[in-house]
Every structure is written in structure tokens, then in C-alpha cells.
């Protein structure tokens, strides 16, 4: 799994149809209008996401390693 930053993950989600619902501090909350799903992405500058956090976001959003 290639590490990505929170900003890059937000861009990937938007490209896949997720919409930014709100921002709470450094956490960007995205929703999927079709399914009602929700994903929270911590954005701390250009720092890479921790592997477990990235894996969880990808699983919840239905992303694969090929999407990175």
C-alpha cells in the first residue's frame, strides 16, 4: 500500500463521487450521496496518513491499492 497524505486522500474521494459534508477541526467528513456512507479523513498538512487509518478509510470508501 502506497502511503498518501490526507489532502491526497480527499482528492481521491472527491474524484470517486464523495462529497465534502463538513470540516470539524482538522477532520474532513465526506458523504456518499447514493449510499449514505460517511468517511472521516484527518488532514494534517502534507503528512502521510498512518497505515491503519489509511487502510480503514480505503475499506470504508471502497478504494483499492490500484486507485492510489
Query: Which three three-digit cell numbers place residue 58?
Result: 480505503
Angle at 46 (CA atoms; ends 57, 20), nearest 5 degrees: 45
Is there a domain that residue 1 lies in?
no
pLDDT at 40: 97
Q: Is position 68 within any domain?
A: no
As a whole number of angstroms, the distance between CA 21 and CA 48 comes to: 22
Mean pLDDT of the chain: 94
- Please state the rounded mean pLDDT for residues 19-48: 95
> Would the CA dihedral through 12, 44, 47, 56 be positive or negative?
negative
Count structural domains, the chain: 1
- Write the CATH number for 21: 3.30.920.30
Domain ranges, residue 12: 6-63
- pTM higher than 0.85: yes
Amino acid at each position: 500500500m502506497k502511503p498518501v497524505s490526507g489532502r491526497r486522500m480527499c482528492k481521491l474521494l472527491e474524484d470517486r463521487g464523495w462529497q465534502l459534508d463538513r470540516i470539524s477541526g482538522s477532520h474532513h467528513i465526506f458523504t456518499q450521496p447514493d449510499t449514505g456512507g460517511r468517511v472521516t479523513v484527518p488532514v494534517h498538512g502534507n503528512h502521510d496518513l498512518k497505515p491503519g487509518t489509511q487502510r480503514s478509510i480505503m475499506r470504508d470508501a471502497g478504494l483499492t491499492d490500484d486507485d492510489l
